Amino acid sequence: MPQQLIAGYNRFRKGYFLQRREELSKLAHGQSPSIAVLSCCDSRVDPTIIFDTPPGKLFVIRNVANLVPQCENDGRPRGTSSALEFAVTGLNVSHIVVLGHAHCGGIKALLDRKSDDTNTFVDQWMAIAEPVKQNILSKNYSADDRYTACEQATIIQSLDNLMTFPWIEARVTQKKLALHGWYYDLHTATLSCFEPEKGKFTQITYDE
């Protein structure tokens, strides 16, 4: 049994839970977040900590490298797609944020994979971003810049793939839903947003 989790649970019960007991009790009757965040499952990137949000405010979807697949309805289980469907058609969120980050292990696996590597579950999942990889490799990036460029380019690809879901495309067209691509730097804790009209990521300002 992982004792650090038990110790953390005890701190939660004696502190956070007692201080917010009424608020947490209300959440037992349902959730109504207005924002869905699609984030990497990397243990260093927790959207609720980065955005300092209490329970019930964010609907968080996590997977390897924060990828969004294209809409496919072939009868196979689709974890990310089903979570997006629930967020949009069930919870009626008004914003979806694709949150990528620096030093992403999934992106590293994608770029470093050799053609004779074993076809693992990670390989199969990261194949979603294969077109991004080929485009990045065709450009004259340095070794370090190549990873950053790919991390950011897959965010843009995920934004494009979100629009292949008809219930997302319809709500975006009706201005009932907005899509955002953000990039978090682990070293500096800076956050940048993708600006389609400029075709680049711009750092979000914050109060010192």
Pairing between strand 178-184 and 95-101?
parallel
Judge if 80 and 20 occupy the same domain.
Answer: no
Model confidence pTM above 0.75: yes
The token pair that represents 119 in the structure block:
């076809």
| pLDDT score, position 115 | 67
Q: What is the mean pLDDT of residues 42-69?
A: 97
Judge if 20 and 68 occupy the same domain.
Answer: no
pLDDT tens digit sequence for 73-130: 887 889 999 999 999 999 999 999 999 999 999 999 999 987 666 688 999 999 999 9
In a domain, 208, yes or no: no
What is the side-by-side strand order in the sheet with 58-63?
Answer: 58-63, 35-40, 95-101, 178-184, 191-195, 200-203
Q: Which domain holds residue 14?
A: 1-29
How far is C-alpha 109 from the chain's CA centre?
17
Answer left, alpha or beta for residue 27, where phi above 0 means left and psi between -120 and 50 means alpha: alpha
**In whole angstroms, what is the distance from residue 165 CA to residue 113 CA?**
29
In a domain, 91, yes or no: yes
The pLDDT confidence band at residue 170, using thresholds 50, 70 and 90, is very high
Q: How far apart are the first and last CA of the chain?
A: 41
Count of structural domains within the chain: 2
Judge if 106 and 16 occupy the same domain.
Answer: no
Share of the chain above pLDDT 90, in %: 90
Judge if 70 and 130 occupy the same domain.
Answer: yes
Judge if 5 and 104 occupy the same domain.
Answer: no
